[in-house]
Amino acid sequence: MRTLHDLLHYFPRDYRDYASITPIAEVAQDGTVTVRGVITASRNIRLQGRQSLAHITVRDQTGTIGATFFGRGFLAETVFRKGTEVIVTGKVGNFKGPCLSNPEYEVLGGDEEDRLNTGRIVPVYPLVEGLTQRMLRRWVRDALDAVGAAIPECLPAALRKRLALSGVAQALPAAHFPDTLKEAETARGRFVFEELFLIQLEVLLRREQLTTAAPDRTGHIINGPHLRALDRLLAFPLTVAQERVISEILHDMAGPRPMLRLVQGDVGCGKTVVALHAVAAAADGGFQTAFMAPTEILAEQHALVLRGILEPLGLRVETLTRSTPEPAKARRRIASGETHVVIGTHTLFQEKTRFHRLGLAVIDEQHRFGVLQRALLAAKGQRPDLLQMSATPIPRTIALTLYGEMDLSVIDEMPPGRLPVKTRRVPSAKVPDLYRYLREQAELGFQSYIVCPLVDESETKTALTPLLRHFEEISTGPLVGVSVAMLHGRMDPAEKEAVMARFKSGDAKILFSTTVIEVGVDVAKATIMVIENAADFGLTQLHQLRGRVGRSAEPSFCFLLGEPRTPDGKRRLEALCASNSGFDIAEEDLKLRGPGEFHGLRQAGLGDLRIADLVRDARVIDLARREAQGLLKKNPGLKGRTLAPLAKALARHREATENCGMAGLEVTL
């Protein structure tokens, strides 16, 4: 928060109703109550070390009750003096009799209307270390008194009237210090709409900017020699869903506007083959393709697939990553146009990487890149087509909010012959049986993954299984004699490549790994996924790991080890066992984790939502989008005095999201 506007738009996450005063004689054990009375005794009690607590006794006309403030003994000498009238709210416990433990308090005697912490509907704000609720409530109250009435109204009056939304001067005080919970909900509704409305205006304006027809663009050649040869070369038929999405992509590429399309599909649905058709169409027009992946392992996996298919078509394919040998020579070939398809990581958008004629940018696992990172890659060409792919389906509310500027294609069909992966929880008593099963499968020629959450021991995460120790114990114990290998992010690129080559060739039957194999690893003979401490992984991540098996017609299994330590952990495992659908998993993950964590909204350029909830407010997203579309149709530039406050609010929102994107870029680089 940098300005008073930021502070006043830092909304409560919840409210507590402390308005009802309970006579002390009627206080019951184990409840939360608010009492009002006079302090008759106040002590600073020293504990072991430097700790202390304040203990006070409060009396009203019906009786007395204690209140303790742990770690805040100084309050007994600075605030809680005998004879002071207070309102105190807290959970009833016992400390030398009935007592409120660490309650909220407000000292009376001044302005009765200025109660901020109890005796009313009290706001509860998100906190970080160093902030307290009392601090924020006081600062917000002071800001409202100072400038609340001067905050400009950004929503047009006609829109507010049509949707029955409160004005900002009325809604701001009601959002922070409402008289009733209904008043708080009404105020929240206004600011939820405002936030989502600004987001939708931003994505729609960005779409218009990104897809404006280029004056010298004639569109790609569709059904050229490379594209026709690709269809003849493929050794398998495309699914109906793949053909539909390819048709949508080629239609975009043939048009006068640059393509801006997001392809969603579950793990194993064949997104790469779809992208290859775009690559071939670009090559037919003499254009290069940049294919960006978030990790070197995934980039190398893509390179293996693309070389095998595109090089027989006469297209030169090469990788450009941090570990590429002789990168200067590779960059010269890219700049000269000798290289047709470049597969890489963040190195692709570095300044020293230049393209001869970039016409297509393909971004895999797009949610792992920030807005500015994607924009830097697109800036390497003259308005290239942009095709983004996600192996983790995105709930519609997220897609509309984050990627509303993009056209959306969904591959909702799996290739024929694929069997659903059977997912089972394994109790600790059955783990020895599991290892015997892995040994039997290895002898039959099938392969397995064993995934651990950590590479090495951790002082703070002692309950989690470290890879290095687990590999040593299991490979020399239950799996002794079985050909095994180990992979993790601390290994240098050559070691990683050698390990993956052993596993892909079948030389290593069991691969111990961290989540570096979460995406991009495709080994048909791998039919078993074992996940240690499974409940400590995110639900989407578990689904991605499970997607490493089941990539052939052989029956495949995912075994989840470890007991959940939280209710959410248990729900994650139950959801994974209940469904193989990435779309169902994504929706459940959104409910469990909330939008603030889903796919890294900050990296996507949205930053933290201040008040909207993409699950709870799904209906408002649709409403905000329709209203934004209608307004931009009438006034594309938001011109005129009436819309000037809205344009200013939009500029402020754009600056905030760009700062979020830049922060993500700096961290990544």
**Which residues, in sequence order, are bridge partners of residue 122?**
16
Rounded to an integer, what distance in angstroms lies between the CA atom of residue 321 and that of residue 314?
23
Q: Kindly state the average pLDDT of the residues 433-458.
A: 93
**pLDDT tens digits along 337-349:** 999 999 998 888 8
In CATH, what number does 225-411 get? 3.40.50.300
Q: Kindly state the average pLDDT of the residues 109-121.
A: 72
Contact 358, 307 (CB under 8 A): no
Q: What's the count of helices (H) and strands (E) in the chain, helices before strands?
A: 21, 20
**pLDDT tens digits along 614-665:** 777 878 988 999 999 999 999 998 999 999 999 999 988 877 765 544 333 3
Q: Which amino acid is at 438?
A: L
Q: With a cut of 80, say whether residue 219 has pLDDT above it.
A: no
In CATH, what number does 422-579 get? 3.40.50.300
Q: With a cut of 50, say whether residue 599 has pLDDT above it.
A: no
Band (pLDDT 50/70/90 cuts) for residue 9 is: very high
Going by DSSP bridges, is the β-strand pair 407-411/260-265 parallel, antiparallel, or unpaired?
Answer: parallel
Shared fold status for 20-119 and 422-579: no
Q: With a cut of 80, say whether residue 459 has pLDDT above it.
A: no
Q: Which residue has the higher pLDDT, 254 or 295?
A: 254
Q: Which of 148-162, 396-410, 593-607 has the highest mean pLDDT?
A: 148-162
Q: Kindly state the average pLDDT of the residues 422-440.
A: 95
Rounded to an integer, what distance in angstroms lies between the CA atom of residue 286 and that of residue 224?
11
Q: Which of 2-11, 219-228, 441-450, 486-495 has the highest mean pLDDT?
A: 441-450
CATH T-level fold of 20-119: OB fold (Dihydrolipoamide Acetyltransferase, E2P) (2.40.50)
pLDDT the model gives residue 605? 44
pLDDT the model gives residue 657? 62
pLDDT the model gives residue 526? 93
pLDDT the model gives residue 397? 64
**pLDDT tens digits along 299-348:** 888 888 899 899 999 999 999 988 888 889 999 999 999 999 999 988 88
Q: Where are the domains of the chain?
A: 20-119, 225-411, 422-579
Nearby residues of 18 by Cβ (< 8 Å), 6 or more positions away: 34, 87, 89, 104, 118, 119, 120, 121, 122
Q: With a cut of 90, say whether residue 552 has pLDDT above it.
A: no
Mean pLDDT taken over the chain? 86
Q: Which amino acid is at 39?
A: I
- Locus of tokens 């054990």: 29
Band (pLDDT 50/70/90 cuts) for residue 215 is: low
Prediction pTM value: 0.67
> End-to-end distance of the chain based on CA atoms, in angstroms?
25
3-state secondary structure 209-242: HHHCCCCCCCCCCCCCHHHHHHHHHCCCCCCHHH
pLDDT the model gives residue 426? 96
Q: With a cut of 60, say whether residue 606 has pLDDT above it.
A: no
Q: With a cut of 80, say whether residue 255 has pLDDT above it.
A: yes
Q: How many residues are listed for the chain in this entry?
A: 669
Q: Which of 252, 260, 257 is nearest to 214 (CA)?
A: 257
